Structure 1
Amino acid sequence: MLVVGPPGGDDAVVHLTSSFDRTAVPFGVTALLLFDRPIPEPAETIRAALSEALAHYRPVAGRLAAEGDGDGELLRIEGAAGVLFVAASAGYALADMTTPLLAGLVARYPSGVCRHADPLLLLQVTEFACGGFAVTATWNHVLTDGEGMAQVLGAVGELARGASPAPSVVPLRADDGSLPRLPHSMVAAQKRALSCVFSRDLALLDVTVPAGLIGRVRAEFDAAGLGDPCTVFEAVAAVLWQCRIRAAVVSASDEAPVALSFSANVRRLVGARPGYYGNCMVVQSMTATRGAVAHGTAADVARMIRRAKERVPDLLAPGAGAGTTTEHGVAVLYDTLVVSSWRNLGFEAVDFGGGRPARVTWQVEETVVPCCVVCPPGKGGDQDGVSVMSACVRPEHADAFLAELTALTDL
């Protein structure tokens, strides 16, 4: 276990965070990138490249500090004390990897919530007996979102394979002030939507939503001719929500409210400049009755999700903050599901010298709320379906959730 910093060591530089960073809650997020083609000395190669990359991404090596603005928001990152780096080995082949073994590939924060003194990034490289390796990044969500971390890892990959003397994308941290400053009400509302109520009693399930089912939902959605074609995310989220409501929602009343929340990347919406790697996402929430989700078609549910996506710009409007992001008490209801999509963020393009990852997935030990992460395609694409790592049901509901997915596939 090492602390890796940029050349030149620590410094006294203060990096300001954006108001989007301040909407995030300081809990750890973990991305696992599994590579089936070996590279020479992967741990040492990636460690050296990480140190070089931190010369361009110095805030990643910093520590959070509180600013005295009266409401306790985390407004700055100080210094460059380094990130935690772990080199490990596994006595089995990548092909023998199972979901329970994923936990051994992850360097973790001592508690789910990250303290000010903790590194903003923990990186572990694990070499498998077959020559493949895993790179696992666990980071404090206040530092960045998924697209930002994919950019950081992409830069490490470029330097590891000697593609250029510096990252090809020039990194921007505070975006030179070009991002809109969110009102305090919006920041507070988004924080409440992700408020940390940790739970260990959710089953970690590695599932695939079959390609045929996704295609059927999209075709039925599109047949109505109500606008742009159904996206993969809309179809997959609809399937997951419907299966979970049928299997796991405690209330038996069809009139009971159920909620879905999803994260939306708003970089293009707010004009973020290329290279910005801080947070730039919002959480949108929606409700429906249990009956509407459980008994309608998956395409009907996808249309509900589309309407919620169309309202995302409203979250950025002046005066936003008292609406759908908070009214459902997202983080404390088992009847709420959070779905995040990691497709098209850039994780699938990271290359440390042996090619792109065979698989990108997500790992969680404690989660803030029942959730699913829609993972990007591996080398084989989406021919078989879309991979989803899920911690959305309690163990006693896991079999029913999987059975509902099978039943929906077999229609």
Structure 2
Amino acid sequence: MKHLFNKLITFINSIRSNIAFYPTLLAAFGFNFAFFMIYLEDRGISTYLLEAVPVLVVDNGNTALALLSSFITGLISMMVFSFSMVMVLLNQASSNYSPRLLPGLISDKNHQVILGIYLFTILYCIFILFSIQPTGDKYQIPGFSVLLGILFTAVCICAFIYFIHNISHNIQINNILDKIFHLAEKRLKHLIDSEEMGEKDFPDTSGWYEYHTEKTGYFQNIALTNVVDICEKKETKLEILPVKGIFVLKGIPVFKSEKELDKETIKDFLSNFNFARGELVEDNYTLAFKQITEIIVKAMSPGINDPGTALNGIDYLMELFALRMKKKDESIISRDEKNYVKLTTVNFEELMYNVISSIRVYGKHDVSLVQKLSTMFLYLKSQEAVHSYYYEIIDKEATTLLEDARDAITNKSDLKIIEKLARKLSLNTNKFQLE
């Protein structure tokens, strides 16, 4: 039962990024709520309220029909406009910033809830409209239900105003960068806190048994609670081989086990691996580095030419790298001070190289960008690191950046700035001096 519950939670987390998740839930609720109100109308709720509080009940059939018909037509138009605005937002973000931003924007809970409110009200009004039946020369009027339709429509209008505000806010690059940063910061802090528990040593896995998956896709997440439960039951330990975010091919080993496993146990382990065609920062903090780097690179490309955005992006990278320096290069999952699972993660050297090498291509000729990156290196060297060799990696990337900048820049005044930056970073200034 516990395993099924954990799998259900994992499944819900994986589909929450779908733009139809909350709209589908609210539409289903609106459908059922309409029939619930029809049931109450059959029990005479409107008749009772008409006698007790007549101001709350619509008692004219033609008025009720006209209101509900107008609400349905107006709300459908409003919903179409809102969906069009979402598509414009996604297209602009993909063109101007990075296609990797789309999963995060699509999974925006506020947009999903607003679209769900529209669908809830539309379905509610449609079925209440059908319940208005003529009896002789009069209509059987669900007066209180019509009043609720009026209130729900007013809520939709307020939601639409908020939607316009929210979508204009979300498309601003500063807000996009800020959202990416805070999601990655939250994930990194969680991982750093989890490293403080349990033993630190994990046995050598070179001779362990390898097992592969029959699925393909991006390795998005894993239900670690379930995996540890199975490890405890089978008295074994695991090493998860793929890095989160990597594309896993069918037949490629995905985990190693200390003990040989039967087919049923292998199936149980693999059922806790979540493969998808997209990625979210909440599950994989390295995606934040990729997204911010791509925003910086696109901003510095000749087609966009927006150095201000690139400089802002480096500020966020600076904070994320400083936080990453507090995390170890390997993650070990423990329970009751006993290690069970070793996760393969992107090490600090690989992460920094991938980020800086991408920026160097478009930024090495721009002195302002080189200065900003040098400021980042200087700041990182002053931060506390969990491993001392992190500082050597920073010096290596700083040296490579300034060497490329020296080769790309010809102006003597700019070259003097490069030499000063090398001196500030305590690098070998001989290779940066003017000839």
TM-score for the superposition, normalised by structure 1: 0.22
More helix by share: 2
TM-score for the superposition, normalised by structure 2: 0.21
